[in-house]
Amino acid sequence: MELESKIYVAGHRGLVGSAITTELEKLGYSNIIKRTHAELDLTDQAATRCFFEEEKPDYVFLAAASVGGIVANNTYRADFIYKNLMIQNNVIHESYKAGVKKLLFLGSTCIYPKMAPQPMPEDSLLTGELEYTNEPYAIAKIAGIKTCESYNLQYGTNFLSVMPTNLYGPNDNFDLEKSHVLPAMIRKMHLGKLLMEGRHDDLVADFQRFSKDDTVVDLAFAKAELQKHGITENHITLWGSGTPMREFLWSHDMASACIHVMNEVNFVDVSKGKKEVRNTHINIGTGVDVSIKNLAEIIQNIIGYKGSLIWDDSKPDGTPKKLTDVTKLHELGWKHEVELEEGVRMMYKTYIR
């Protein structure tokens, strides 16, 4: 990418899109195109076509998607497959038609079989059954990889796919039901701490901050929400058994990996030597994982939460382990910088502002 190239970051206000935008701006890229969901609904084929015909971007980072934690994936199954297929089909096809030089599609490591070998190499794609809770989302993401590969093979485009591990950082989703585990634990422990210390005004302010509609957010509302999510003066409630293993990457490291891949890697680099071209996507992660129980302890120490942790086994565990094999990424010249404890500290700072 040249500093003046026209770069479209789809999903520029989200966790990953905002980090990519910030990192690009820091590096001096000055022609970044942004559209909110309200300004451009990427599930709308005609609107997406119009946008690409008018703007004709040189490069596209595809970080717009319907995203959520394990319960959101398992509950909104139709939304997760339909919306993600629509967004990626529209953006990839219109990028091809508009002559986009390079596109980066963001998938997820849930594309791999539930019982994939660990760490999971790119070649374990489509070798076994998927984890049930996120099967619709994973199938959409697998379709995205195959769409990019197929357009490259048939039309000579240069569209790449990256499969990030679990991500966290500024502009994360802190919804107590729909979020991923790391932001959920930070918010639950912070709320538990406020409740334990009798800081009722701060509790109400927290719920007001995340309120999206006209609901009156007062102490009664806050207490009802706390009860609904199993947060009391003595304990907070976390999900599943706590035994699953997960790997976490700071969103600005993820952004740096995306920019590195966009600048340094071409489809020819990841497809060369393959008789049948498949599995050209690239894993993005740290190569290090922790148990969910261990993650809870790390967050508890950093927040200074003194209550106990209850594990609700009516909630799903999901995949037992999904550690990325980052050999290919390291060979392509990129490695993460932020380790988990440092990242959690930064995350808590951005949370309490």
Ligand X SMILES: C[C@H]1O[C@H](OP(=O)(O)OP(=O)(O)OC[C@H]2O[C@@H](n3cnc4c(=O)[nH]c(N)nc43)[C@H](O)[C@@H]2O)[C@@H](O)[C@@H](O)C1=O
Ligand Y SMILES: NC(=O)C1=CN([C@@H]2O[C@H](COP(=O)(O)OP(=O)(O)OC[C@H]3O[C@@H](n4cnc5c(N)ncnc54)[C@H](OP(=O)(O)O)[C@@H]3O)[C@@H](O)[C@H]2O)C=CC1
- Residues of this chain, 319-338, that bind ligand Y according to CB under 6 A: none
- Residues of this chain, 73-112, that bind ligand X according to CB under 6 A: 73, 108, 110
Catalytic site includes residue 155: no
Using CB under 6 A as the binding rule, whether residue 246 contacts ligand X is answered as yes
**Contact range with ligand Y by CB under 6 A, out of 59-67, 147-155, 198-206, 211-219:** 59-67
Using CB under 6 A as the binding rule, whether residue 180 contacts ligand Y is answered as yes
The continuous run of DSSP H or E covering 102 comes out as strand 102-106
330 appears as a binding residue in the annotation:
no
Strand partners, 60: 8, 103
The closest alpha carbon to 102, from 21, 29, 158, 163, belongs to: 158
Q: Which of 106, 186, 262, 299 binds ligand Y (CB under 6 A)?
A: 106
Tell me the one-letter amino acid at 288: V
- For residues 160 to 199, the per-residue mask of contacts with ligand X, x marking binding by CB under 6 A and - elsewhere, is ------x------------xxx--xx--x-----------
The sign of the dihedral angle between the CA atoms of 105, 280, 336, 238 is positive
Count of helix runs (H) and strand runs (E) in the chain:
13, 12
Comparing CB distances to ligand X, the nearer of 57 and 164 is: 164
Would you call 65 helix, strand, or coil by DSSP?
coil
CA distance 134 to 81: 10
Using CB under 6 A as the binding rule, whether residue 235 contacts ligand Y is answered as no
Using CB under 6 A as the binding rule, whether residue 43 contacts ligand Y is answered as yes
Among ligand X, ligand Y, none, the one that 203 touches (CB under a kind-dependent 5 to 8 A) is none
In sequence order, what E strands does 154-299 have? 159-164, 166-168, 235-239, 245-246, 248-250, 282-284, 290-291
CA distances to 143, 152, 207 from 210, in Å: 33, 42, 5
Comparing CB distances to ligand Y, the nearer of 85 and 204 is: 85
Which residues are annotated binding-site positions? 11-17, 106-109, 141, 164-167, 180, 188, 239, 246, 317
- The annotated binding site for substrate is made up of 188, 239, 246, 317
Q: Which residues belong to the active site?
A: 137
Binding stretches for ligand Y (CB under 6 A): 11, 13-17, 36-37, 40-43, 63-67, 83, 87, 106, 108, 164, 166-167, 173, 180
